[in-house]
Structure 1
Amino acid sequence: MCDEHDLPPAVRRALADYRRLLAEHGPTWGEDPITYVRQIEADAFVRDEHRFFLALLEKVFARYPGASAEEIEERVRDMDLQEVIRDALAGRELPDNLAALRITPDGVRLEARAQTVLEGEWFRTTLMADSALDRPVTLTVDGAARELAAGGALLVPVTPASVVAVDGRTVGLGGLVRSAPAARLRVRAGFPCRWSVIGENGRGWYPEGAQPRRDGHRDPYFHGDDLVLDVPAEPLTVRVTRGMEYDTAEAEVIPEPGRETLVELTPRRLYDAAARGWYGGDMHVHMNWTGDTVGTPAQAAAAQHGEDLHVLNLVAGNVASERVYDREALEHWAGRDLPWSDATHLARLGVEYRSDLLGHFYAFGMHTPPTRYHTGFLGTADWPPNAEACRELRGLGAVLGYSHPFHVPFDEDAPPAAALTEGRNCSAREIVSGAALGLVDSLDVLNHSSIQATATVYRHLVGAGNRLAVTAGTDTMLSFNRRSSQSGPPGWERVYARLDGPLTAAAFADAIRAGRTFATTGPWLELEVDGHGPGDALDRAPGDRVTVTARCVGPEVRGLELRTADGVVAEGPPGELTAELTVDAPTYVVAVASGPAHPRTFHYSGAYAHTSPVYLDVAGRHVARPADVRWCLDYLDGLETMIREHARLDGERRLTDHLDLLDAARAVYRARLPR
């Protein structure tokens, strides 16, 4: 499926170029070393990005006290990331791909989780030399000497046969690996699935040619069916699942040395969305976005079918420079289903439009590539406003939604300033104006950033009279084997959209535009208001009563909520929740399901699902809750201040374009306030 030799020449050349960049520059592929590019250098070792950024900022502030947001962005370029990695891992168990050489006044000690290797297998890992001495030492690895500063850290590649010395004294590496006799394992489910084969100390085992991927729980995984892999002849855990509509089946096995052992496992289905007319999609997946490997169409196909992901939006986008990764694939396949698509699996090339001042958004279903993919990188102007790209992409047939919108949780009663975090980042800052002007269709309430913050902003926007759908985008990257949830399988969060007929790109996009959606980390979630579902609008008279019911399926759910523009109106345990509401004024109804951390859930905050609204109009009037409208107006004032203070704009005319957009949005919101 999508053999690389059969790919279009331009796509083959692009993949070859990405491999060259990886070989020359490592996982950053030579991108401009802004903050999140520096993080890429640490992704293989530091799973918790918050610990990484905390350690990085501590280094910056120790050297540059009182640095501003703009100064921080410049200073991170100079930081020694080897020490940052060491500090971020302090007090934590080392990952399986890292050993530590602790150099202290009491001596030198190797700290490692011994990894199992097959007899004759070549093995390589990374050694972190960590000095607690107040003087420099000389670290020699395989004849190459390097100075390790006082209190410093160095990361170097090693094998079990490497010769390591500290100040001329050899250090044994016997604890790195242990040898085991080889066996073969065949895994079979009867259809494509996601498999994990785990040995001692968490070592993952993979079929030949499979990428050694780790998911958001740091578990190894690969996709396919009837696969054979070389494994040790010792206890192994085998797990199989197929995305969120399935449970996980597990078996313990001890393969016989020198022989093939068959493991047949079939995951139990929890729900069948397509049978109900609902299809789940991931609106934000990168095939390539720098990384420790190069993503290919064949890998995307295997992942989509192995996850039973109905809709896959592979987005072309830049990182920190002019280069737009996978642009060649978009230019070839724009407007067409990708070759591995079938009746229940649809893949398209889309776009992530990116501005680190105004926000990033996905585009799905366009028939032609756009002329612009980003603004504001490499010191270029933060112009034009995102609104211009929205207009162009919508004109090309795309459905749009802001991605990974807000990053820091805040209370529901928090002022707009809580959402307008300082500095350049990918927060969805232009969503409030874009929603008012009808330029966007959705918000990725389910994302890898703060679901809680995004859901709060979403409900402010809907309460202020904007009709936006809930969507989901994981920002998964096939070019990373280890990047927390972003190296996880596509579709670990999904937007489910209700279609009235067969699955097509146009039908899925239309369902999002109509708001017939819910988004989830895994649970199935239904909402009915007098028999109507998300996206529907009911016109009622004051005093009318409606019956509202939410239903959920999924072992990770601990609670259900029914909410209107005024907040939570009913809550209860998982299963089914019903309430009778009296309609006194225009409002909306949404359902929310939530739960704690769970093996089925890859988001750090736990399980979550949120529907798009059923709208309750009164005598033809739409919801426009004054408190939410004023929240949006205050937000626009804060955004104007941010643009004036932080935008890179060469000329008053370009500032005026931003201000005119904000004024147009203000006029819409003010018209919704009571007269």
Structure 2
Amino acid sequence: MRRRLPVLFTLLLCAGAAQAAREPVLKQVDLPHSYYWRELYLPQLTTGPSSASFLPDGDTLVYSMAGSLWRQRIDGDSATELTHPARAYDYQPDAARDGRSVVFARYDGNAVELWQLDLASGHEQALTSGGAVNVEPRLSPDGKRIAWVSTRGTGHFNLFVADLDAAGLHHAHMLLGERKSTTDRYYYSAFDHAINPSWSPDGKTLYYVSNPEITLGTGDLWSVPLDDPSHRRRILSEETSWSAQPELSPDGKRLLYSSYHGRQWQQLWLTTPEGAPPLPLSFGDFDRRNARWSPDGKRIAYIDNRDGNTALRVVEALGGATRTVAATKRSYRQPQAHLVLDIVDEHGARTPARVAVLASDGRAHAPRTAWMQADDSFDRAVQKTETHYFDCAPPCALDVPAGPTRILVQHGFAYAPWQQTVTAAAGSAAHLRAQLQPQRLPAAFGDWISADLHIHMNYGGHYHNTPAHLAQQARAEDLDLAWDLVVNKEERFPDIASFRTDPDPASTARTLVLHGQEYHTSLWGHLGLLGLDDHLLMPGFASYRHTAMASPYPTNGVIADLAHAEGGVVGYVHPFDTLPDPVHDAVLTDELPADVIHGKVDYIEVMGFSDHKATAQVWYRLLNLGFHLPTGAGTDAMANYASLRGPVGLNRVFLDTGGQLDQAAALTALKAGHGFASNGPLLGLLLDGAKPGDTLAAPGRHHYRVALRSPVAVDHLELVQNGKVVKRFTLSGDRHRFDGEGDIDLAGGWVLLRAWNDGADPLLLDLYPYATTNPVWLGDHVLAPGARDDAAWFALWMKRVIEAASARDDYNTAEEKRATLDYLNQARDAYLALASGAAPALPRGAR
């Protein structure tokens, strides 16, 4: 393995490796919206504790931390590492009642399998195999059976049980069987799930969570007798969010679980096996989860994120006295070395940055208090597991197993990645200094600030984020402006208390934290609302089927008007994962074309949590019709997640504000199209001295000047006019840098510069490298040659949207339906007019 590690890490760091193929983590799970269930349900690598189980004495815990299992007395500060698998991570321990063994879940990059650890001998035994996702193992009170959740055979989360003896599992079977709900669900599979199992003290009943005929939330609390699964019983209706984990007290009288129950954060609650009205056991503006009773019922161990990172606490059930179980002293299974990393910029000044550390054990490591975060996809031909990383405010120190350790440091797009391998001997300390080298665009192309227009500070993740910590995350990514969009998560608005119309007090001279809103409707598409000067728009979402807010009204156009009345700026966020097909798509409801031709849209996230190339194709068609619709960019980063698509600032827009860092200047440049969007490459474009967003008087022969600076190798650099490539630039060497100029004949319409790759790059945690400038316009409102065909395409698109809107029977009033259909029909008629060569009756172009 030590011989292979350098090869693996070299491939990881090798920009431009042959057609890297990113695939989702745990791709065998057949559920929509992996960014919910992965973070909210499956165990993740955190430097702090993530789950715990009491040993029989009630004074000792076995818990998961940093991918290993540990044992520690609750009144001590010393922890002993029990497991440390190579190239894998251990989670979710459950201790046998006799104290002899622990079952747990092990993730190796391909699957999650169940294992058993003999505490006396240290022997480890695999209990499952086959490549499914197996989680939440729970031993019966007599230790002869085990219940867990598995995707085996279906790709869905189902409840399994099996007999267990020294030879392993026997008679494993799905307890409840597959069931498909008749209600339609957007965020959850059509197939019901059964999760969060626990045993009754007599071993005859399982308690769990399931969602038959529930539209939102992971479901209600249920019980099922093992000897008669057909007689399962709903205990309590509770719109839980993946982590209820009901567990009956040892006396069988109180059912403990975690819930947000009308609040913004998960706390501990109690009901009874009969479903008595629940009462809160804990309070606070942070999460308490993964709670377990002690064997005598006098204590409860749980995980909370009160201080930001995860922590293990134990509370006395009577009186509420609480202690923190902190592993100040650690006894490792492998010899350790100590690393200290300092990071400086080109001037020698310390600067925070994103760091990935891969040690000789093939596992990711971080400082003890750092937030470990991870990519959502990776190329299995290059890496064994997804990339894990942390933010380092230098100097940062960490312990790693002795041997070769690979370190990667990245700081935004204007600095080259820094990487080094260090071999540290056991008991030694190594000090590293990473000096970052800038690679900026020439000043002639603009004086930029960078902005991520779409961040969610908190969204149900493992960590508890704050504006001050968000500012630190942005600073590590060399991001100037971090826009937190307050948004609902089903029944919650986790960051609603942070909303304000002026910059957050946590902002610094170099990093601005602002708060806006994402308006949710899964029918029309999601909106980003920036610069609201009075209040959030409520209820914050529309068209949630089978709820009191099921009506398709208001349309996004109505919401845009309300936002504009507050001085806000309106954008379409994460628009398209695939290019819409008005002819063949089964259903088409996205309202973007209507809102653009009605003049409601100020920007579109061509770069976002979507497919950039597919979105660009729609954008080009709108530009061809003369709509001055600029690109923005937003990562849609759930910044308190341990597993997320990318860090804050992964997708960002560079705005030419003359270097001015304030909200008004940023919004002015955004609406004017003065800038470019990117997930890595930096682009500069001048056309006869005009910059993106500018308009030249007439077509003809023009002088261009272009520049590229990129932290990763770039395959293609092109000038695009009216949707067609008119100039390809030849990139050579390491393909990180290019400067060129020349003359070109251009007809009327628009022209922009784009950079893109055919496949992914392991250094860039996105689908593939991509960047695009905004257009330079050639003549005011000059239609591209193919504009009439584009207009006809949008007219057909609107026809399909009107069909879908007409078929809905859940408008609150006839007036809501009439207003909706009138708005959509007016847009379709306007596109038909453009397709025929006539002038539309509606105002054309974004505000």
The reply to whether TM is greater than 0.5 is yes
Give secondary structure in 1 for the equivalent of 2:594.
helix
In 1: Cα distance, 2:125 partner to 2:779 partner: 61
C-alpha contact 2:31 2:156 (8 A) present in aligned 1 = no
Answer with 272-281 or 262-271: which moved more.
Answer: 272-281
C-alpha contact 2:631 2:676 (8 A) present in aligned 1 = yes
In 2: Cα distance, 1:510 partner to 1:151 partner: 53
The aligned counterpart of 1:181 is 335
Question: Of 816, 819, 823, which aligns to 1:654?
Answer: 816
In 2: Cα distance, 1:273 partner to 1:648 partner: 56
Question: Of 88, 97, 118, which aligns to 1:96?
Answer: 88
The aligned counterpart of 1:422 is 587
The aligned counterpart of 2:693 is 535
Matched, 1:235 2:389: no
The aligned counterpart of 2:556 is 386
Question: Of 418, 438, 445, which aligns to 1:269?
Answer: 438
C-alpha contact 1:129 1:154 (8 A) present in aligned 2 = no
Question: Of 453, 458, 461, which aligns to 1:291?
Answer: 461
In 1: Cα distance, 2:399 partner to 2:502 partner: 39
Question: Of 382, 385, 389, which aligns to 1:221?
Answer: 389
In 1: Cα distance, 2:542 partner to 2:151 partner: 42
In 2: Cα distance, 1:144 partner to 1:294 partner: 39
In 2: Cα distance, 1:324 partner to 1:44 partner: 16
Q: Residue by residue, what CA displacement relative to the aligned partner does 1:303-361 show, whole Å, maximum 9, x if unpaired?
A: 11111101111111012x2422201111xxx1222234234321101111110000112
In 2: Cα distance, 1:152 partner to 1:632 partner: 42
Code of the residue aligned with 1:539 in structure 2: it is A
Query: What TM-score, normalized by structure 2, do the two folds share?
Result: 0.59
Give secondary structure in 2 for the equivalent of 1:375.
coil
The aligned counterpart of 1:363 is 529
The aligned counterpart of 2:701 is 545
In 2: Cα distance, 1:627 partner to 1:635 partner: 12
C-alpha contact 2:144 2:165 (8 A) present in aligned 1 = no
Deviation of the 1:233 alpha carbon: 2.6
Deviation of the 1:246 alpha carbon: 1.5
C-alpha contact 2:518 2:528 (8 A) present in aligned 1 = yes
Code of the residue aligned with 2:462 in structure 1: it is D
Give secondary structure in 2 for the equivalent of 1:389.
helix
Matched, 1:204 2:364: yes
The aligned counterpart of 1:63 is none
Question: Of 801, 807, 829, which aligns to 1:645?
Answer: 807
Deviation of the 1:128 alpha carbon: 7.8
Q: Give runs of aligned pairs for residues 418-457 of structure 1, distance below 5 A.
A: 422=587, 429-457=590-618
Matched, 1:572 2:758: no
Deviation of the 1:408 alpha carbon: 2.0
Q: Compared with structure 1, are the counterparts of its residues 409 and 202 closer, same or farther at alpha carbon in structure 2 (3 Å cutoff)?
A: farther
The aligned counterpart of 1:129 is 128
Deviation of the 1:636 alpha carbon: 1.1
Q: Compared with structure 1, are the counterparts of its residues 421 and 210 closer, same or farther at alpha carbon in structure 2 (3 Å cutoff)?
A: farther
Matched, 1:601 2:764: yes
C-alpha contact 1:126 1:155 (8 A) present in aligned 2 = no
The aligned counterpart of 2:513 is 347
Code of the residue aligned with 2:128 in structure 1: it is A
Give secondary structure in 1 for the equivalent of 2:440.
coil
Question: Of 625, 646, 651, which aligns to 1:493?
Answer: 651
Deviation of the 1:273 alpha carbon: 8.3
The aligned counterpart of 1:169 is 166
Q: Give runs of aligned pairs for residues 143-154 of structure 1, distance below 5 A.
A: 143=143, 145-146=145-146
Q: Compared with structure 1, are the counterparts of its residues 369 and 569 closer, same or farther at alpha carbon in structure 2 (3 Å cutoff)?
A: same
Deviation of the 1:536 alpha carbon: 0.7
In 1: Cα distance, 2:88 partner to 2:422 partner: 22
The aligned counterpart of 1:247 is 416
What percentage of aligned pairs have identical amino acids?
Answer: 25
In 2: Cα distance, 1:153 partner to 1:99 partner: 23
C-alpha contact 1:212 1:220 (8 A) present in aligned 2 = yes
Q: Compared with structure 1, are the counterparts of its residues 440 and 449 closer, same or farther at alpha carbon in structure 2 (3 Å cutoff)?
A: same
Q: Residue by residue, what CA displacement relative to the aligned partner does 1:452-498 show, whole Å, maximum 9, x if unpaired?
A: 11000000111122111111111111221113x1xx31111211111
Matched, 1:516 2:516: no
Code of the residue aligned with 2:38 in structure 1: it is A
In 2: Cα distance, 1:357 partner to 1:274 partner: 43
Question: Of 621, 624, 637, which aligns to 1:476?
Answer: 637
In 1: Cα distance, 2:648 partner to 2:753 partner: 25
Q: Compared with structure 1, are the counterparts of its residues 343 and 268 closer, same or farther at alpha carbon in structure 2 (3 Å cutoff)?
A: same
Q: Residue by residue, what CA displacement relative to the aligned partner does 1:269-324 show, whole Å, maximum 9, x if unpaired?
A: 222689941111111111111223333334312211111101111111012x2422
Q: Residue by residue, what CA displacement relative to the aligned partner does 1:348-391 show, whole Å, maximum 9, x if unpaired?
A: 01111110000112122222222322112253222111111111
C-alpha contact 2:441 2:708 (8 A) present in aligned 1 = no
Deviation of the 1:170 alpha carbon: 4.8
In 1: Cα distance, 2:144 partner to 2:518 partner: 43
C-alpha contact 2:527 2:556 (8 A) present in aligned 1 = no
In 2: Cα distance, 1:587 partner to 1:560 partner: 20
Answer with 374-383 or 345-354: which moved more.
Answer: 374-383
C-alpha contact 2:146 2:163 (8 A) present in aligned 1 = no
In 2: Cα distance, 1:442 partner to 1:251 partner: 41
Q: Compared with structure 1, are the counterparts of its residues 127 and 277 closer, same or farther at alpha carbon in structure 2 (3 Å cutoff)?
A: farther
Give secondary structure in 2 for the equivalent of 1:638.
helix
Q: Compared with structure 1, are the counterparts of its residues 344 and 421 closer, same or farther at alpha carbon in structure 2 (3 Å cutoff)?
A: farther
Larger radius of gyration: 2
Deviation of the 1:613 alpha carbon: 0.8
Q: Compared with structure 1, are the counterparts of its residues 225 and 38 closer, same or farther at alpha carbon in structure 2 (3 Å cutoff)?
A: closer
The aligned counterpart of 1:65 is none
C-alpha contact 1:280 1:310 (8 A) present in aligned 2 = yes
The aligned counterpart of 2:713 is 556
Deviation of the 1:663 alpha carbon: 2.9
Deviation of the 1:436 alpha carbon: 1.1
C-alpha contact 1:354 1:360 (8 A) present in aligned 2 = yes
Give secondary structure in 2 for the equivalent of 1:245.
coil
Q: Residue by residue, what CA displacement relative to the aligned partner does 1:210-236 show, whole Å, maximum 9, x if unpaired?
A: 222113552221112111223223321
In 1: Cα distance, 2:356 partner to 2:390 partner: 7
In 2: Cα distance, 1:476 partner to 1:454 partner: 19
The aligned counterpart of 2:325 is none
C-alpha contact 1:299 1:478 (8 A) present in aligned 2 = no
Deviation of the 1:587 alpha carbon: 0.8
Deviation of the 1:188 alpha carbon: 0.8
Code of the residue aligned with 1:657 in structure 2: it is A
Matched, 1:400 2:567: no
Q: Residue by residue, what CA displacement relative to the aligned partner does 1:17-48 show, whole Å, maximum 9, x if unpaired?
A: xxxxxxxxxxxxxxxxx96467623358999x
In 2: Cα distance, 1:335 partner to 1:97 partner: 43
Deviation of the 1:646 alpha carbon: 4.7
In 2: Cα distance, 1:659 partner to 1:363 partner: 24
C-alpha contact 2:579 2:618 (8 A) present in aligned 1 = no
Give secondary structure in 1 for the equivalent of 2:697.
strand
The aligned counterpart of 1:25 is none
CA RMSD of aligned residues (A): 4.0
